[in-house]
Structure 1
Amino acid sequence: METRTVVAEFIGTAMLVLFGVGSLVLAGDYINALGISLAFGFTLIAIAFAFGRISGCHINPAVTLGVLLVKRIDIRTAVQYWVAQFVGAIVGAAVLFLLANQVPRLQTADAFGSNGYGGRSPVGMGAGGAFLAEVLLTFLLVFVFLTVTHSVALVGAEPVPVGLALAAANLVGIPLTWASVNPARSFGPAIFAGGDALGQLWLFIVAPLVGGVLAAVVHRFTHLHPAGQAEREQAHPPPTTGPWGRLRGGHRPEAGDTETKGPEAA
C-alpha cells in the first residue's frame, strides 16, 4: 500500500464534492438537473483519467466495498481508502462552504447540496422509497465499475462508462433524493448543512453500501468463473471429434491412423 494511493483517493473525493456538489450549490438554478448530472459525470471521468492508474479512483466507499467483496483488494487497503474518502469529502465540502459564503443571499443551512427524503425530497419521497432508489442507483454505478474494470487500476477508456453511469444515476436520483450513491459525497455536505441533513444522513450511508454489496453479488454470478472451473477445463479439454466421430476438420479418422486429417490434408 503506497501513500500516493491514499492521497489520490483523498484528492479525488475532495474534487468530486467540490465540483459535483458545487454545481448544485452554486449553479443549480442555472443548469438544472441535467447540468448537475453532467457535472458529476464529467468530473468523475476527468478525475479517473488523472488518478485511475494510481488508486483505481474509487472515490466512493460503496465502490470500494464492491471491489473488496470481489477480492481485488484486502480489508486493510479498503479501510485506508474509506478514511481517505471521508476526510477528502469533508475537506472538499469545507472549501465549497467557504466559497458559497461569498455569494450573497445563498442559503447553506439545512441545504448545501445535502441529500434528503420526505420534506427534503424534491418530490416528497418517503424514507422507504428513498432507500430503495439509492440502493438501485448505487447498484448501477458499482456494477458498471466492476464490469468494465478487471483489476484495481482504472485505465484506457474505462472511466467513460463509469462517468456515464454516475451521470445517469444523478439524472434519475436528483428529483428523488438529490442523488447520493456515495456515502462520502453525502457525509461532507451534511456536516456543514446541519439540521435535518444530519438527521437523515444514515440513509445515504447505509443504502449506497447495500447497493454496493448487491452489485458485487450479482457481478460474481454474471462475470466471475465458479471456483475450480479453470482447473476442470484444463483437466478435461474439449474433444477433438465432433458428432458421429468426425474430426473437427470434417473427416472421419481411419483405423490405426494417428494423424489428424484436416482440410489441408484432404
Structure 2
Amino acid sequence: MSLGKKCGAEFLGTFWLTFGGCGSAVLAAGYPDVGIGWLGVSFAFGLSLLTMAFAIGHISGCHINPAVSVGLLVAKRFKAAEFLPYVIAQVAGAIAGSSVLYLIASGHADFSLEDGFAANGYGEHSPAGYSLVAGLVTEIVLTFFFLMIILGSTDSRAPQGFAPIAIGLGLTMILLIGIPVTNMSVNPARSTGPALYVGGWALSQLWMFWVAPIVGAALAGVVYPLIAGDPKAED
C-alpha cells in the first residue's frame, strides 16, 4: 500500500474520530433529559474508533492518533520514515473534522465557543475542576494502557480479527474514566482540532495534551515488548 493511500486513510479516520466523538459532546450531550451525557460521549469516541479500525485498519493500521504512532514506533511496529506523514495527516484530519463540526454547531442560535467546543483542559477548564498534575497523570496512565491494549490485541499471537473491538471498547473505558478530569484526550490530534477554534486557554493548555499522551504511549512501546517477548522467537 502506498504512503499516500495510508495517509489518506489516516486523514479520514481522524476526521471521523474527531467529528464523531467531539460532535457527540457538542451537538448531543447537553440536552436536558434526552442528552446522551458523558456515557454517550464515551461510547461515541469508542464506536468512532472501532468502526474506523474495521474500515481502514487494513490500509494504514488505523493509528488516527499521533500517540499511537509513537507507541508503535517505539515498539518497532511502525516505520520511522512514515511517522511524520502520518502525524501530519492525523492533525489535518482532526482540524477538518472540527471545522465541519463548527460549521454545523454554529448554525444554532445558542452556540458559543465559550462552552468549550469539546476542547481538553485542566484546572478551571477541567470539567470537574481537576488540577494540572491530576490531568497529566491521568493522560499518561490512560494512554499507556490504551497502547498496551493496541499492542496486545494486534500481536500475531492474539486472537485474530477481534482487535478493533478490544481497541474501541478500550477507548470507551478510557473516556468513562477520564472525561471528568480533562475531557479526555489520549490523542494529540483530537485535542488540536477543537483547541484551534476555542483559542486562548485551549491553545495555552494544548502542550499537555501532546506531551502526556506521547509519554504514556512511548512507555507502553517499551514495556509491552519486555513482557510479551518476541513472537518470532516463540515461533
TM-score for both structures, normalised by structure 2: 0.92
**Structure 1 segments of 4 or more deviating over 4 A?**
none
Partner of 2:66: 61
Q: How does 1:134-153 map to 2 (within 5 A)?
A: 134-150=139-155
Distance, in Å, in 1 between the alignment partners of 2:17 and 2:201 is: 23
Q: Answer yes or no: is the 8 Å Cα contact 1:34–1:171 preserved in 2.
A: yes
Partner of 1:171: 176
Partner of 2:43: 38
Q: What residue identity is the alignment partner of 2:121? A: G
**Displacement of 1:224 after TM fit?**
2.4
| 1:130 counterpart (121, 127, 135) | 135
Q: Answer yes or no: is the 8 Å Cα contact 2:67–2:213 preserved in 1.
A: yes
Q: Answer yes or no: is the 8 Å Cα contact 2:153–2:162 preserved in 1.
A: no
Partner of 1:15: 16
Partner of 2:166: 161
Flag structure 2 segments of 5+ consecutive residues without an equivalent.
none
- 1:98-125 per-residue CA deviation (whole Å, 9 max, x = no partner) reads 0110122022246110000000112211
Equivalent position SS for 1:58 = coil
Flag structure 1 segments of 5+ consecutive residues without an equivalent.
235-266
Distance, in Å, in 2 between the alignment partners of 1:203 and 1:11 is: 25
Partner of 2:83: 78
Q: What residue identity is the alignment partner of 1:148? A: S
Distance, in Å, in 2 between the alignment partners of 1:214 and 1:2 is: 27
Partner of 2:199: 194
Distance, in Å, in 2 between the alignment partners of 1:109 and 1:216 is: 37
Distance, in Å, in 2 between the alignment partners of 1:40 and 1:75 is: 27
Q: Answer yes or no: is the 8 Å Cα contact 2:3–2:82 preserved in 1.
A: no
1:26 matches 2:27 = yes
Equivalent position SS for 2:97 = helix
Alignment: residue pair count: 227
Distance, in Å, in 2 between the alignment partners of 1:107 and 1:27 is: 15
Partner of 1:49: 54
Q: What residue identity is the alignment partner of 1:205? A: W
- 1:172-210 per-residue CA deviation (whole Å, 9 max, x = no partner) reads 110111000100000010000112011101001100001
Q: Answer yes or no: is the 8 Å Cα contact 2:24–2:44 preserved in 1.
A: yes
Q: What residue identity is the alignment partner of 2:37? A: N
Q: Answer yes or no: is the 8 Å Cα contact 1:110–1:197 preserved in 2.
A: no
Partner of 2:124: 119
| 2:111 counterpart (78, 101, 106) | 106
**Higher Cα radius of gyration:** 1
- Structure 1 24/110 Cα, relative in aligned 2: closer, same or farther at 3 Å? closer
Q: How much identity, in percent, do the aligned residues show?
A: 46
**Larger deviation: 155-164 or 6-15?**
155-164
Distance, in Å, in 1 between the alignment partners of 2:122 and 2:80 is: 32
**Displacement of 1:225 after TM fit?**
3.0
Q: Answer yes or no: is the 8 Å Cα contact 1:45–1:159 preserved in 2.
A: yes
Q: What residue identity is the alignment partner of 1:9? A: E
Distance, in Å, in 1 between the alignment partners of 2:115 and 2:74 is: 35
Equivalent position SS for 1:201 = coil
